[in-house]
Amino acid sequence: MTGEAYYIDGVRLPIGRAKDTGYYAQTRADDMAVRSIRALLERQSSVPPERIDDVVWAATAQVGDQGLTLGRSLALLAGLGRGVPGYALDRMCAGALTAIVNGANAVRVGAQDLVLAGGVEHMGHHPMAAEVDPNPRFLSDKLVDPSALVMGNTAENLHDQCPEVTRQRSDEFALLSQERTAKAQADGVFDDHVVPMTVRSSEGWRVVDVDEHPRPGTTSESLADLESPFRPGGYVTAGNAAGLNDGAGGVLLASAAAVEEFGLSPTMKLVDYTFVGVEPETMGYGPVPATDRLLARTGLSIDDIDAIEMNEAFAVQCVAFLDHFGLPIDSDKVNPYGGAIAMGHPLAFSGARLAMQLAATFRRQPEARRGITTMCIGLGMGAAVLWERA
């Protein structure tokens, strides 16, 4: 018999730009993750650190300062105690979302009571695909088209597959992401889950406390002026795609027994989830079949879902998702606080941010009952997780 897995709290660092002048250029990835874990447990001070049953942490580039069995390394570095285990996992962009699902499953079967689950990606230290050696059979045996290995090209392919998603509509969605992110920042939406980090730069030490990537001065005209780096006359630009970023954060999951023992206040509980495979050449379409399957499994329709947090890897995949479910581009239940086009997408970390923002919706909208976190995933996959108010 399965029990419930409750989302108690989540913490992340301000997202930085993956460049030499970015927030975290001189900060280790594992130290970023340690900061988020310590901040999370400081907030949930009734939980003794040594009572954490597992630390499940994701990274896409599991090398250098993101290597060495990351979950266990973080347990030691964060001072949780030598008796706290941990492990690392990789499902590219859905790393943290998979970590959360794995941790929740351990809680639901009664094997564990308290799990820390999250992700980190320092794309400044580990650029996308820089330390990857794809098997040559992918191309020699024509297992995938060469475009499948370049995410921007897969987004252009999706434009080809969905001609109704025009460049203008993608730019419209991108502008909305910037505007909603700016409003959420002004309204203090992120204040309950973004914690400051002390970092070093060429100018000395400083504290960063707000996402670095958003461009609040973005206009329709400035977006229209951008050209695609992936295809002559293409539709995918730096303005309607997620950036290259550094970020870290995680969540605390608990069983009903732990909630009672430590006096915790759950926000939501994990109900069900799906992971699906799709054509690698149009990997951005993944959230559509993943969400379709999730709804079918649970007997729900999109109208039964009150809030959706979808990773904005590219505007084209978001607009295609909205079209499929008959939702307008400005639907107020999809990414109400903006998304990765404005905030950035530090790969394996981003799923944790989606969970935090969905929890923010549950706290701010008392009438909201059900929510979904969903993502596209490199090499052709999609993920969708169903949550209910606790």
CA distance 344 to 248: 12
Q: Could you tell me which residues come within 8 angstroms of residue 352 by beta carbon, excluding any fewer than 6 positions away?
A: 10, 12, 96, 97, 99, 100, 117, 118, 119, 249, 250, 251
CB 19 within 8 A of CB 25: yes
Known catalytic residue at 93: yes
Question: What is the distance between the alpha carbons of residues 180 and 177, in angstroms, rounded to a whole number?
Answer: 5
376 is catalytic: yes
Helices 315-324 and 287-298 sit at what angle, rounded to 10 degrees?
Answer: 30
- Residue 325 neighbours by CB under 8 Å, 6+ apart: 291, 302
How many Å from the N-terminal Cα to the C-terminal Cα in the chain?
19
Catalytic residue among 122, 125, 193, 376: 376
The strand pair at 307-310 and 114-122 is best described as unpaired
Residues in Cβ contact with 275 at an 8 Å cutoff, skipping those fewer than 6 apart: 91, 94, 98, 290, 381, 382, 383
Q: Which residue out of 93, 122, 125, 213 is catalytically annotated? A: 93
* Residue labelled with tokens 């347990």: 75
Enter the tokens of residue 48.
């003794």
Active site residue 162: no
C-beta of residue 78 within 8 angstroms of C-beta of residue 25: no
User: In a 3-state reduction of DSSP, which class is residue 86?
Assistant: strand
Nearest to 380 by CA among 252, 239, 281: 281
Q: Which of 80, 86, 76 is nearest to 106 (CA)?
A: 86
122, 126, 159, 345: which one is catalytic?
A: 345
Residue at 313: amino acid letter: A
CA distances from 243 to 14, 213, 239, 343, 347 (A): 14, 8, 9, 8, 10
Q: Measuring CA to CA, how many Å separate 228 from each of 141, 218, 357?
A: 29, 17, 30
Distance separating alpha carbons of residues 316 and 363, to the nearest angstrom: 30
Query: Catalytic positions, please?
Result: 93, 345, 376
